[in-house]
Amino acid sequence: MLFINLIIFVATLFILNAIFRRSQKLGMTVFIALLLGLASGALLQQFSDKPILDTTLDWINLVGNGYVRLLQMIVMPLVFVSILSAVTRLNQAGALGKISFSVLSVLLITTAISAAIGIAMVYLFDLSAEGLVAGEREIAAQARVEGRVEQVSNLSIPAMLLSFIPRNPFAELTGANPTSIISTVIFAALLGVAALSLRKENEELGERIAQGVDSLNKLIMRLVRFVIRLTPYGVFALMIKMAATSKWADIINLGNFIVASYLAIILMFIVHGLLLALSGINPFNYFKQTLPTLSFAFTSRSSAATIPLNIETQTNKLGVNPTIANFSATFGATIGQNGCAGIYPAMLAAMIAPTVGIDPFSMEYILTLILIVAISSFGIAGVGGGATFAAIVVLSTLNLPLALVGLLISIEPLIDMGRTALNVNGAMVSGTLSNKWLKTN
């Protein structure tokens, strides 16, 4: 049975390769891979006993996790070299301030909007933390959550901001800290500013430096394109694992929360589309161009691993200035995540509030919650850990119990897929809007 499963898997990879070669449309091939992976995973779970299923997934993970690792491999070199290259090509260092302000403003404002939508879904679906039953996995998850609280209990905005400044840029390039991506951006930007200063003093030397950096950037981008061509196969394998390991009973039991979460995610995608339309950008064309990147974000559940695809899509498909694309992709992977740091913690806070005698739909509570979510979405980069840490920070700030974070662990992977796609889309929207507003092209 194992041999047959693997033969079918390899044959499907060849079919996907043939589809891509014939159509030359990456987005369509990725979407087909996603659907085939979902169907294949469901069939594997239905017709394979557990030992065969586990062994099959171990082999399939060579493709899925291997692809994710390839993307993770190029994230830090790509962030460093592309930011450095973009800054050395700027006419003046002052443009960095405008770009950073524009990108961060979009990320934080959209996170506040996503929090409001999350609260509205709790009201619309009448969701509450009361009555949820903790199973063995949920109890274990609660213990892990309580262990993580210590990591954020002493978190302050000054401490978080200080953590962004790299003490050892070479260590940051290895991804040693939760804030390594932002620290690398800062180091690369400062190095670029130094190159601009040198060019003012010695134009010939400055131009040689810029040409060298540009050559290195082209080399890295060529590597990125090689890896991106593997996206359909990676998405297919990752989707098989998701579908084959999902517990459908848990999904049914917490169906209302899943439906409410995905409705909130869809509404936030619509908000993104409206913001694009109001700025004179065709949202339908935008989503058509970004589909492969969003599909990978959906299946991989990793905003950081999606950075190379994010930058490639913005620069080559959406026509965004490379500097803006690099800043929005890297900032958006750690700051102002609309799904993980916006919708999710807002929904949990609104669901838990009634258990401690708070009206979650009073105007005072809603405004306070939205403000805390927006601020904490900036601080999450200081601790890492995505949606779980975002929820811990928000709930701790509001003095709410943290049990619900563990109670929802059984359906966490399913919802996290949509949240990650929304996070990545928020980053791309911030870059696209900033590019339009700042008129860089």
Task: Look up the pTM and report it.
Answer: 0.80
Asked if pLDDT for residue 72 goes beyond 70, the answer is yes
> 150 falls in which pLDDT band (50, 70, 90)?
low
At 135 the pLDDT is 47
At 46 the pLDDT is 82
Quote the domain boundaries for residue 109: 2-438
| Contact assessment for residue 335 and residue 110, using Cβ atoms and an 8 Å cutoff | no
- Pairwise CA distance, residues 267 & 262, whole Å: 8
> Measuring CA to CA, which residue among 331, 92, 84, 328 is closest to residue 188?
84
pLDDT tens profile 182-205: 788 889 888 988 888 888 888 888
Please indicate whether residue 71 or residue 263 has the higher confidence score (pLDDT). Answer: 263
Indicate which CATH number applies to the domain containing 25. Answer: 1.10.3860.10
pLDDT tens profile 360-417: 899 999 999 998 888 777 655 544 456 777 777 788 778 887 666 656 666 677 888 8
At 383 the pLDDT is 46
Instruction: Collect all residues with Cβ–Cβ distance below 8 Å to 349 and sequence separation of at least 6.
Output: 360, 369, 373, 394, 395, 398, 400
Q: How many domains does the chain have?
A: 1
> 133 falls in which pLDDT band (50, 70, 90)?
very low
At 140 the pLDDT is 47
> Measuring CA to CA, which residue among 151, 108, 160 is closest to residue 337?
108
Instruction: Collect all residues with Cβ–Cβ distance below 8 Å to 29 and sequence separation of at least 6.
Output: 16, 19, 20, 23, 232
At 217 the pLDDT is 84
- Pairwise CA distance, residues 271 & 275, whole Å: 6
At 138 the pLDDT is 45
Please indicate whether residue 359 or residue 243 has the higher confidence score (pLDDT). Answer: 359
- Pairwise CA distance, residues 296 & 31, whole Å: 10
At 314 the pLDDT is 94
- Pairwise CA distance, residues 355 & 193, whole Å: 52
Mean pLDDT for the stretch of residues 17-25: 87
Please indicate whether residue 148 or residue 322 has the higher confidence score (pLDDT). Answer: 322
Instruction: Collect all residues with Cβ–Cβ distance below 8 Å to 240 and sequence separation of at least 6.
Output: 9, 37, 40, 41, 44, 57, 60, 64
Neighbours of 86 (CB within 10 A): 25
> 440 falls in which pLDDT band (50, 70, 90)?
low
At 433 the pLDDT is 96
pLDDT tens profile 318-345: 999 888 998 899 888 878 889 888 998 9
- The two structure tokens encoding residue 189: 């930007």
> 274 falls in which pLDDT band (50, 70, 90)?
very high
> Measuring CA to CA, which residue among 182, 167, 171, 176 is closest to residue 79?
182
- Pairwise CA distance, residues 283 & 287, whole Å: 6
